[in-house]
Structure 1
Amino acid sequence: MSIKSYKLYLIDLDGTIYNGEKKIKYAKEFVDYLNENNVDYLFLTNNSTKQPREVAEHLKKFDIETTQEHVFTSSDATKIYLESKGYKNLYIIGENGLKNTLSIFNHKNTEEDVEAVVVGLDRELTYDKLAIATKAILNGAELIGTNPDTLLPTAHGFVPSNGGQVKYLEYATSTIATFIGKPSRIIMESAIKLFNYSKNQIVMIGDNYDTDIMSGINSGIDTIHVQTGVTSLEDIDKKEKKPTYSIENLNKLVKKRRKNDY
């Protein structure tokens, strides 16, 4: 199957560029080629705990040379969303990556005058934090989840991710959360607006059908499923909405761009 060339590549990380602490073959070659040929790309991650600089630094462990300008997190998209709503006072459940990204807002310690409750992964979550968030939401604050992920892969297996924290608050308050990260259109549209390309010039690359591929489908752009992570080719065959392409690994894209340089 022939794969068209694109002007902007939105690229997932875990399962696409690396698997946990393991390198994925041809990921380095693909990113090197994009860098060498000045092709626009953006790593799109649901991780709210790290800022772009930290993500770029982490990628060096896998021999991926990039800069923070090529990283866009769910925290970054959350900031853009909050600004669009005109919010000033937040109650935040989350770690330093999220709090630092949202430093331009007022961070409240109680439920009073809170306009939005922002929830990212917090590995020091307490009942008191959930109680303040619950009261703020019941007082009218919008409930915002940086991402809906249920599980977080670690070197020692899967552990709970942010989705469970948000679900707790949804259940406690009978309130539906606004999710920012993949597969939401919010993070996708925020990333796309950083560039001046039409949607037919943009593609989303990822291993996870439910987040990466659906985020592209939901946003009306092409998608490339890589068979290096969560979703297998057999799983893809069972889906009603198929990705535009499914490839064994990123080497197929390196070969394609060498053949169709521009």
Structure 2
Amino acid sequence: MVEISHALDWPLVQGVISDLDGVVYRGKTAIQDAVETFQVWRAAGIPYCFVTNNSTHSARDVVAKLNGFGLDVTEDNVVTSAVTAAQLIREKHPAGTRVYVIGAPSLRQAITDAELEITDEKPAVVIMGLDREITHEKLRIAVDAILRGALLMGTNPDLLLPTPTGFEPGAGAILTAVAAAARVKPVIVGKPEVHMIEAALTRLGTDRVSTLMIGDQIPTDIQAGKRAGLCSVLVTTGVPPVDDPSLQPPDFVISSLKQIPSAR
């Protein structure tokens, strides 16, 4: 994919919404150009908020990781798919609603914090995130519950996740299998849907026309940004770009966040 980063075409940047894995770091390794760019934005008073499809870490976990890379952030700077999923369930269901959870402890904690009951007995909702301890039995329980009427919700549709040495299957790979078996279309919480983007905009208090959406995946990050009306920037430090004519293309394609004029 050809890089597009002509300085004269960039909007005035007054706020930034950004993905994390593949943009700020890969696995446990920081992407130094990105870290330095966010440090520049912090010094310049440009607010930013991170939106992550990864439900395996809480906002506190993300803050600790970013602080370790030298970024001065708080939990107000982080919107996770786990917390957003719990909020969306509560918008439609009362406290005590039965929810079957496939995912990490952070997703289970978000569901519990929202006063929802985690159970595999007659759940009204099945919520699926990345589960590195997935088993056939978990998939069976999920499919059976959905066929009995439970709503299927996924924290995100990511098929691939970048790692320091390559890639691994994402939550979307497992979600796709369950949806196919139960023959239903899941409700997606994270990107490419705009739920987290809208939450981040509320926290930033910036106008859409002057806020960037930065990500490394066209099917998720870029589509979410475009749907929310933001200038969307693809950085090629994460998952290899997907050329799909059915998807909206990014406004800019860069290889380093330092190519964004406001970061200089």
The two structures have a TM-score, normalised by structure 2, of 0.85
Name the stretch that deviates more: 188-197 or 12-21. 188-197
C-alpha distance 242-168 of structure 1, shift in aligned 2 (>3 A): closer
Quick one: higher RCO (CA 8 Å, sep 6+), 1 or 2?
2
What runs of 5+ residues in structure 2 fail to find an aligned partner? 1-5
1:36 paired with 2:43, answer yes
Tell me if the contact between 2:219 and 2:247 (Cα under 8 Å) persists in the aligned partners.
no
Deviation at 1:169, TM superposition (A): 1.6
Amino acid at match of 1:205: I
Give deviations 1:64-122, integer Å, cap 9, x for gaps.
3322221111112212211221253211111111111121233332232x221101111
- The equivalent of 2:135 in structure 1 is 126
C-alpha distance 126-41 of structure 1, shift in aligned 2 (>3 A): same
Matches within 5 A, 1:146-165: 146-165=155-174
Matches within 5 A, 1:221-232: 221-231=230-240
Deviation at 1:246, TM superposition (A): 2.5
In 2: Cα distance, 1:169 partner to 1:24 partner: 34
In 2: Cα distance, 1:175 partner to 1:201 partner: 38
- The equivalent of 2:115 in structure 1 is 105
- The equivalent of 2:26 in structure 1 is 19
Deviation at 1:168, TM superposition (A): 2.1
2:32 match: secondary structure: coil
C-alpha distance 247-154 of structure 1, shift in aligned 2 (>3 A): closer
Tell me if the contact between 1:152 and 1:159 (Cα under 8 Å) persists in the aligned partners.
yes
What's the Cα RMSD here?
Answer: 2.4
In 2: Cα distance, 1:142 partner to 1:240 partner: 27
Deviation at 1:216, TM superposition (A): 0.8
Amino acid at match of 1:251: K
- The equivalent of 2:3 in structure 1 is none
1:184 paired with 2:190, answer no
The two structures have a TM-score, normalised by structure 1, of 0.86
Tell me if the contact between 2:147 and 2:182 (Cα under 8 Å) persists in the aligned partners.
yes
1:176 match: secondary structure: coil
What runs of 5+ residues in structure 1 fail to find an aligned partner? none
